[in-house]
A and B are shown apart, each in its own frame.
Chain A
Amino acid sequence: MADVDHDEEPHLLEEDQFLQEVHSFSFWFEAIEGYLEDRPRGYVETLGEPTDSKTMSDADRDQLITTLCNYCVGESTALEASSGLVRMAPNNHSRIFLATQVADEARHLEVFLRRLEMLGVTNPEAEVEARAASGLVEFRKRLLDLVDQGDWEAAVFAQNVLLESMEDTVFKFHESVADTITQQMLEGVVADERRHLGFGENDLGRRLAHDPDGRSRLAAIRADLDPLVLASFDSVYRELGLSREDQPQLGKEYLATVERLGLTT
């Protein structure tokens, strides 16, 4: 944690002090403590089983299981990719930040698996495998290949920009229509995604500012991966029972990020 005068406002920190502060373990755990303290396992357990969970129809329950199974695919992909990125990180700040992301992704996976159990799924791991969208499975393979190849920029883009943007948009929307327990779990997950998205965009932004040629390479990777993720999350919306015209503009935030990074084709 940066040695700073805490009476001052954050905007007065020097840039390296700011990065040291926000990438530190202490920052991470004080931040998550704020929004997870009263929510062991991602939701307020003392509420008991809310009515909307008790009265969920079988069809709605089944749809929710499919949706959560695909969230698990996304989260386990992010867990494996972010852990692989730790070793590649260019400095200690990034390494420590990625370690916090690894724990975040593992927590997300854990709460979604737990939700599946609460919904009556006896073997969540098998269920996830059975219900995984093929596009997302293919994306997972491509992302882990990028990690295995040691391609930091492409992997950070695919994970912290592309996958996290899509998850952020879908989770926020799902939060607004979900049952109470799922809604609370998603709320905590979205709060984590902010850090991950910000790290990805800022890291790539700094790099691309010094390496404009890298843009065309990343734009090509983006064009290759976009359809896989977009189609997968589009199908999640359908599972949530929305007609196409009612769906929020899925890629809006993501496209804004891509534009800021200069990765439009």
Chain B
Amino acid sequence: MNGPVDAAIDEVPPSSFQPESADGDEPPRQRFELEDTGFKEVPKRWRKFYRIWQGEGDSLGPNEVICPVCKVVIRSHREFRPGDRVYCMPCMSRMVVVRRPDGSLEAEVTY
């Protein structure tokens, strides 16, 4: 699902994406161009940062995590890494990206 709408456009060093230290010696993060996928539940300027999870057959890109509260896919211009802060505007939740034992990334709600 991530492929058709996003394209990795370049490799850039981590900048203000928090926390800086989380990147350590890891390779630079991939950057992604985001396109509006038709998610209309937030104001226009924020729409490309969210999309509806399509269920079976859908997959998450390195710049995407699922909101555990409302199940919307949260997106970023940049590849996510553990420790990154993410916001789900449709349900107003604040989260931190964590790595699961299987290596995948998920968002954990911080209250």
Contact = CB atoms under 8 A, between A and B. Distances in A.
A198 B93 contact: yes
Interface stretch (A83-91, A189-197, A217-225, A228-236): A189-197
A9 B93 contact: no
A197 B69 contact: yes
Contacts of A197: 69-70, 91
What range describes how many residues of A lie at the interface? 20 to 34
Interface residues of B, number: 31
Contact of A34 (B44, B68, B70): B44
A9 B41 contact: no
Given A34-B42, A202-B94, 15 more contacts: A18-B94, A22-B92, A30-B42, A30-B44, A31-B40, A34-B40, A34-B44, A34-B47, A194-B90, A197-B70, A198-B70, A202-B91, A202-B92, A202-B93, A257-B69
24 contacts: A6-B45, A10-B87, A10-B89, A27-B42, A27-B43, A27-B89, A30-B42, A30-B43, A34-B41, A34-B47, A191-B41, A194-B41, A195-B91, A195-B92, A197-B69, A197-B70, A199-B92, A201-B91, A201-B93, A202-B111, A205-B109, A256-B68, A260-B68, A260-B109
Interface of A: 6, 9-13, 15, 18-19, 21-23, 26-27, 30-31, 34-35, 191, 194-195, 197-199, 201-202, 204-206, 208-209, 256-257, 260
